[in-house]
Structure 1
Amino acid sequence: MNQPQGQYPPQQQQGQQPGAFQGQRYPILLSTMNDLPGYEVVRVFGEVFGLTVRSRNMFSTMGAGFKAMAGGELKGLSKLLSDSRHEALGRLSEEAMAFGANAVLALRFDCNEIAQTASEIAAYGTAVYVVPHTQR
């Protein structure tokens, strides 16, 4: 976990790829922890979500079926799941920032299959505003 540094929200650094902020992939801190050592939660905005639904293409599904018979990692499906999680986290970050949050705590994921053709990925957590203990 990257501890927050400097001003919130972190500013994108010159020359960094879009979405990369002070060594973090998202513009606010995302943590599965319920608290943040060295920081105090000064405002709780409530639960926020980031959702995405993705369908698998026919060729990927067929290839995964053949690969499943032989055994081994289903790389196409692993990439789909990873991309979906990042999209859900990006949407979660946007929703939290719309409330004025600079962090999301107690982050969790939920995955469901829809009609055996698509996957829903939900990222959810509690949007908060944190400050270092020294800035009380």
Structure 2
Amino acid sequence: MKCNKVHSKLIFFLEKELQVSEMEQVQKHLDECSDCARFAAEMKSTLRILENDKVTDENPFFYTRVKARLEKQHDEQLVARPVLLRILQPVAFSILLLLGIYGGFKLGETPRNTLVSSTLSEQEMVPFWNEMEAEPIESFLME
């Protein structure tokens, strides 16, 4: 029997899932070929490690116990928080949100009372405002 054929049947040999005649052929080859025997020993130790690390079945009531504990904890939190706090907290967050939006609008407005000279154009005030029109992107990328 050739080494390639033994390698393909080795896992079945180690699990004792081959026919008796094939088991004898593989064993005979392993007795004769030291490389295949070493490979078989490594495979056997790997299978032993995998067998030891198999996950055990979970407790069937684990989920129900965790769910009950979470519900109990949730109920305790609801009782611990006063009713007034449960009402005022969303109101306070809503007011803060509205103040933030209002502040954003106020910051984004352009000032109306600024004294700007009529001789200054917008391009002079902000010289690099529209820089991409002055220089095409192709020349920028080619440099």
| Superposed pair shares fold, TM > 0.5 | no
Richer in strand (by share): 1
- Higher share of residues assigned helix: 2
TM-score bracket, shorter-length normalisation: under 0.3
Looking at both structures, which has the greater relative contact order when contacts are Cα pairs under 8 Å and sequence separation is at least 6? Answer: 1
Q: So what's the TM-score if we normalise by structure 2? A: 0.24
When normalised by structure 1's length, the TM-score is 0.25
Computing the radius of gyration from Cα coordinates, the structure with the larger value is: 2
